């Protein structure tokens, strides 16, 4: 039970004489935070992780909504640092659900005795760099403070839930929640009139699950997305043995690919094979599970042009085939962005939901939501009476979770102000004017565990270099930072991720600067860049 994991701050917390000191402070005890804690402890650093939640797991602690699960293969998502762990843990499904994922991360915390270094129920409200002592002081909501030479933000790139500023939201007489804060005890939806606002990756997982119990479901869609069938299934005993015997090859393959997934692109061009051969590949990938439909196809479907549009139209026709009403089908067919310009949501029976008599699809681009009323949702055209409203409206990605920490660097300058025009961080992990701060959450994208492990290893080794050479500070230089931001902006403009109105560029948040929030490079390129920086004595960093 998650409740059994709760800890309380030490007696006397909040008094100046009780400020605890560590070599490193980690904020967050999710996938990256747990590995950061393990790795830094093994290298001899004293370390404490502060976690807002009452249990470990990060994403897999908070996102408890029905249908929440991996969209990358379970056996590629787990940690690779321990062969014993790999052999002990049996993934039950090819794409594991939230309950199992949370159990896994609790198992890791117990197996490696990480809990004694984690303080739960700890809401960090500010982080301030002490220039005289070259350390970070963090302040918790309850008044407790702690100090550490290093500050590691492992708060996730998709953890700051976002709800649009709907007028009247507090007037609603029913119940409502954002999916990222789904109650542990669940929500009673049986026989209720339920509205879901949002049809991104979360919405397409949630909707097919809750439609089974609600009396009526109203879905408010702003943007139709390319959604692919997940085709999940249990892992049988023979597959389990094969997976465990193949981990070295699985991880080696992941480390070669752009996003650290197990899928590799076909080096052929879609338009250089015959139409028959092209369609045969499309159909074969469509029948296979997971991201293969996105990441194992002809390489040129991932660049703007004829191949991309050819595959997009194949996708659109697959959607049309699954929806009985042609008018509704066209509402669900994406026409305003290229295939692959957004992360591909995977679904299980999503489109068939709209064939049910108790489901209504509302196009809020055509008739925008004007306000939340005591009775439900009022659009420009109608008012929809509801008992429950579920906001599947996404996240203030990457910078949103960092801004919540109120980080103050040299001269009292805040990271929030520095990032007002977009992230300014060398390699995504270090900002000039913020010594000994590693923003790990901002640099991982793709298959997060496969990307995060080598990133945490690099940060840990940099900390060892500072320690072993009797330095006290490591800070990105302004020149390196500026050059990196120029690289992100210039090369980011060429990739599909910047071509759509998505969280990748902050377009889902009103007033947020539209810039690429992640690195434009492949995972192997980023590892090579970090290795080169380290080999050159941490080139681009000022060591003091």
HSE (CB half, 13 Å, CA atoms) of 199?
25
Would you list the domain boundaries of the chain?
A: 2-56+114-160+397-472
Neighbours of 271 (CB within 10 A): 14
How many Å apart are CA 254 and CA 262, to the nearest integer?
Answer: 5
The DSSP bridge partners found for residue 266 are: 298
How many Å apart are CA 397 and CA 101, to the nearest integer?
Answer: 22
Alpha carbon 436 to chain centroid distance?
24
Pick the CATH number of 2-56+114-160+397-472 from 3.40.190.10, 3.30.565.10, 3.50.50.60, 3.40.640.10: 3.50.50.60
Residue bearing tokens 């198992």: 107
Question: What 8-state DSSP symbol labels residue 426?
Answer: B
- For 165-210, the DSSP string reads --TTGGG-SSEEEEGGG--TT----TT-EEEEE--SHHHHHHHHHH
Using the Cα atoms of residue 267, residue 269, residue 270 and residue 276 in order, give the sign of their dihedral.
negative
Q: What are phi and psi of 286, to 5 degrees?
A: -60, -35
How many Å apart are CA 469 and CA 173, to the nearest integer?
Answer: 62
CB 95 within 8 Å of CB 232: yes
CB 180 within 8 Å of CB 63: yes
Alpha carbon 4 to chain centroid distance?
26
3-class SS shares of the chain: helix, strand, coil, % to 5: 40, 20, 45
Q: What is the pLDDT of residues 41-58, one digit of tens each?
A: 999 999 999 999 999 999
Instruction: Output the pTM of the full model.
Output: 0.94
pLDDT in tens, the chain (544 residues): 223 223 333 333 344 458 999 999 999 999 999 999 999 999 999 999 999 999 999 999 999 999 999 999 999 999 999 999 999 999 999 999 999 999 999 999 999 999 999 999 999 999 999 999 999 999 999 999 999 999 999 998 899 999 999 999 999 999 999 999 999 999 999 999 999 999 999 999 999 999 999 999 999 999 999 999 999 999 999 999 999 999 999 999 999 998 899 999 999 999 999 999 999 999 999 999 999 999 999 999 999 999 999 999 999 999 999 999 999 999 999 999 999 999 999 999 999 999 999 999 999 999 999 999 999 999 999 999 999 999 999 999 999 999 999 999 999 999 999 999 999 999 999 999 999 999 997 555 667 788 889 999 999 999 999 999 999 999 999 999 999 999 999 999 999 999 999 999 999 999 999 999 999 999 999 999 999 999 999 999 999 9
CB 462 within 8 Å of CB 538: yes
């Amino acid at each position: 039970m998650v409740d059994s994991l709760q800890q309380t701050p030490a007696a006397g917390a909040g008094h100046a004489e009780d400020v605890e000191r560590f070599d490193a402070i980690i904020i967050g005890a999710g996938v990256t935070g747990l590995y950061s804690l393990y790795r830094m402890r093994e290298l001899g650093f004293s370390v404490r992780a502060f976690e807002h939640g009452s249990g470990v797991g990060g994403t897999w602690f908070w996102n408890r909504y029905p249908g929440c699960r991996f969209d990358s293969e379970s056996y590629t998502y787990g940690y690779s640092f321990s062969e014993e762990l790999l052999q002990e843990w049996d993934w039950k499904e090819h794409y594991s659900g939230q309950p199992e994922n949370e159990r896994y991360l609790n198992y890791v915390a117990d197996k490696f005795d990480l809990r004694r270094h984690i303080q739960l129920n700890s809401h960090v409200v500010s982080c301030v760099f002490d220039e005289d002592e070259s350390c970070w002081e963090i302040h918790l909501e309850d008044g407790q403070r702690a100090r550490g030479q290093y500050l590691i933000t492992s708060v996730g790139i998709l953890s700051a839930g976002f709800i649009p500023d709907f007028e009247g939201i507090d007037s609603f007489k029913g119940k409502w929640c954002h999916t990222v804060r789904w109650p542990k005890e669940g929500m009673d939806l049986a026989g209720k009139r339920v509205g879901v606002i949002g049809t991104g990756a979360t919405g397409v997982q949630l909707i097919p699950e809750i439609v089974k119990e609600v009396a009526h479901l109203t879905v408010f869609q702003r943007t139709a997305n390319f959604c692919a069938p997940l085709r999940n299934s249990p892992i049988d005993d023979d597959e389990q043995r094969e997976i465990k015997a193949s981990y070295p090859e699985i991880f080696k393959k992941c480390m070669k690919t752009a996003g650290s997934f197990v899928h590799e692109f076909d080096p052929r061009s879609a338009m250089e094979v015959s139409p028959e051969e092209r369609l045969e590949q499309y159909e074969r990938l469509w029948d296979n599970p997971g991201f293969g439909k996105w990441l194992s196809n002809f390489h040129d479907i991932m660049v703007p042009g004829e191949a991309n549009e050819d595959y997009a139209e194949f996708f659109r026709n697959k959607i049309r085939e699954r929806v009985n009403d042609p008018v509704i089908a066209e509402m669900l067919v994406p026409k305003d962005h290229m295939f692959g310009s957004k992360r591909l949501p995977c679904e299980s029976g999503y489109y068939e939901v709209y064939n049910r008599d108790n489901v209504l699809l509302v196009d809020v681009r055509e008739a925008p939501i004007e306000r939340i009323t005591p009775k439900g949702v009022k659009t420009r055209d109608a008012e929809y009476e509801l008992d429950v409203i579920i906001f599947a409206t996404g996240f203030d990605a990457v910078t949103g979770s960092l801004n919540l920490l109120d980080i103050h660097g040299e001269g009292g300058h805040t990271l929030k102000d520095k990032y007002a025009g977009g992230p300014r961080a060398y390699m995504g992990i270090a900002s000039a004017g913020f010594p000994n701060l590693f923003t790990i959450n901002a640099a991982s994208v793709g298959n997060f565990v496969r990307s995060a492990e080598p990133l945490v290893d690099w940060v840990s080794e940099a900390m060892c270099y500072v320690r072993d050479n009797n330095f006290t500070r490591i800070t990105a230089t302004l020149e390196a930072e500026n050059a990196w931001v120029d690289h992100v902006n210039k090369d980011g403009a060429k990739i599909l991720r910047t071509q759509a109105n998505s969280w990748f560029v902050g377009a889902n948040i009103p007033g947020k600067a539209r810039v690429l929030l992640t690195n434009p490079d492949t995972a192997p390129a980023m590892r090579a860049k970090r290795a080169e920086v380290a080999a050159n004595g941490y080139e681009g960093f000022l060591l003091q």
